[in-house]
Amino acid sequence: MNKINVKTPIVEIDGDEMTRVMWQMVKDQLLLPYLNMDLVYFDLQLKKRDETDDKITLEAAEAIKKYGVGVKCATITPNKDRVKEFNLKQEWSSPNGTIRAALDGTVFRAPILVSNVLPAVRSWKKPIHIGRHAYGDVYKNCEYRVPEAGKAEMVFISDAGKELWRGKIQDFKGPGIIQGIHNTDKSIVSFAKACFTYAYDQRINLWFGAKDTISKTYDAQFKKIFEQEFEANWKGKFKEAGLEYFFTLIDDAVARIMKTEGGLLWACKNYDGDVMSDMLGSAYGSLAMMTSVLVSPQGYYEFEASHGTVQKHYCKYLKGEKTSSNSMALIFAWTGCLRKRGEIDKTPEVVEFAKNVEDAALETVESGIMTGDLMLVATPDSKNKRVFTEEFIAEVAKRLQKKLK
């Protein structure tokens, strides 16, 4: 078989621990034998970030802006323990956070469905995608422990030095807590644009939930911006494609999600998205059965797995023990990236190759061959077999080879 040409270079961002090990296996066995592709490679393993004072992370983000599409392995976000373990110059911030900020992107997640792992919610038949606003609110807050009775106020002073607003938060009669949060119109507009673009690309309905009845200025601004974006740029396109934009209160959205059959994008404010994406991930079966893509308003894409570096399995691997780590999300990060590259380049053979890899992976699990995380949640069947990390990838490779003959 002739190798398939990938027209434009792909930005490849390597990572840490068990996912780094699986990353190489996936490339060697499922991709490189079949593709001629130029990879613009960035090694973001923690040691390299430390050596370059984290400049390499910014360079990787710039490369995604240049080439348009990238794929990223999971990376360690260092904490105090990691600083000691790797003897780091400092506690570098999360590479995902850095890249997200550089691309001003929104993270979209969706479950990978297989027929023998049923979602915990019976009505869910199709994937529920989540779009999480990745800026502001409690993640960029200012908070204070009130030690004694007193008055808490919020003040806004313009750059011109004028006090434009002052409001009372609370007259405290004793100790308590206060918190200030913010968001910006610019970031909310990007979020809305990314959500409409993603839902339209995927041809699925868009739901957005907030609490504008209680938060009449803050959440109401989110609702307003989504409506404006819909009216200005999407109403016609959505109608033509038979799609719906639906706004409702966040608690109503949660109640409806439990009854829907899925097949929609659920746009969530930052905190709602943090909480709800973990709920969806676990309800659909396993952390390793979620895809994740960062979409920027300019149309740059970064595909990744939504789980971390699977450190516990890596510790076993280092000791020479066998692991049963699931590479599905990493495989789908690569296929998502290849499909998008093929769509942009107008090379249907690349899109078709991506589909073949995905089908081979799905069929492997559906034939009963699966890693330990899925054995726990799969429909019991005598043909189910728990396999090791490398065995699973070899089984996918076998099926892929047959498809490509």
- The binding site for ligand NAP (CB under 6 A) comprises 74-77, 96, 287-288, 304, 307-312, 325-326, 371, 373
Which of ligand NAP, Mg ion, none sits in contact with 311, Cβ below 5 to 8 A by type?
ligand NAP
Closest Cα to residue 332, out of 286, 368, 376?
A: 286
Select from 51-59, 110-118, 267-275, 289-297 the region that touches Mg ion (CB under 5 A). 267-275
Is 278 a residue that touches Mg ion (CB under 5 A)? Answer: yes
Instruction: Give the pair of three-digit tokens for residue 5.
Output: 């040409």
303 forms beta bridges with: 71, 293
Select from 49-57, 87-95, 274-282, 386-394 the region that touches Mg ion (CB under 5 A). 274-282
Instruction: Give the pair of three-digit tokens for residue 1.
Output: 């078989």
Is 363 a residue that touches Mg ion (CB under 5 A)? Answer: no
Q: Which is nearer to ligand NAP, 181 or 287 (CB)?
A: 287
Name the minimum Å distance from CB 1 to ligand NAP: 30
154 forms beta bridges with: 167
Q: Which is nearer to ligand NAP, 223 or 316 (CB)?
A: 316
Which of ligand NAP, Mg ion, none sits in contact with 373, Cβ below 5 to 8 A by type?
ligand NAP
Which of Mg ion, ligand NAP, none sits in contact with 325, Cβ below 5 to 8 A by type?
ligand NAP
Give just the sign of the alpha carbon dihedral 94, 99, 101, 107: negative
Name the minimum Å distance from CB 191 to Mg ion: 18
Name the minimum Å distance from CB 310 to ligand NAP: 4
The CA-CA-CA angle for residues 24, 27, 33, to 5°, reads: 135
Q: Which is nearer to Mg ion, 130 or 393 (CB)?
A: 130
DSSP 100: H
DSSP 289: G
Name the minimum Å distance from CB 92 to ligand NAP: 11
Distance (Å, whole) CA 222 – CA 155:
22
Under a CB-based contact definition with an 8 Å cutoff, are residues 307 and 329 in contact? Answer: yes
Q: Which is nearer to Mg ion, 58 or 287 (CB)?
A: 287
Which of Mg ion, ligand NAP, none sits in contact with 50, Cβ below 5 to 8 A by type?
none
DSSP line for 202-232 = HT-EEEEEE-TTT-TTHHHHHHHHHHHHIII
Name the minimum Å distance from CB 273 to Mg ion: 8
Name the minimum Å distance from CB 303 to ligand NAP: 11
With tokens 């200025």, the residue in question is 217
The CA-CA-CA angle for residues 25, 318, 74, to 5°, reads: 50
Nearest position to ligand NAP, beta carbon = 308
The CA-CA-CA angle for residues 180, 181, 186, to 5°, reads: 145
Distance (Å, whole) CA 160 – CA 41:
46
Instruction: Give the pair of three-digit tokens for residue 191.
Output: 């979020």
DSSP 2: P
Select from 74-82, 173-181, 235-243, 268-276 the region that touches Mg ion (CB under 5 A). 268-276
Nearest position to Mg ion, beta carbon = 274
Q: Which is nearer to ligand NAP, 74 or 257 (CB)?
A: 74
Count of beta carbons in the 10 Å neighbourhood of residue 28: 12
Q: Which is nearer to ligand NAP, 74 or 360 (CB)?
A: 74
Name the minimum Å distance from CB 237 to ligand NAP: 32
Select from 108-116, 148-156, 207-215, 273-281 the region that touches Mg ion (CB under 5 A). 273-281
Is 274 a residue that touches Mg ion (CB under 5 A)? Answer: yes
With tokens 């080439």, the residue in question is 67
User: Count of residues binding Mg ion (CB under 5 A)?
Assistant: 2
Name the minimum Å distance from CB 326 to ligand NAP: 3
Distance (Å, whole) CA 359 – CA 113:
11
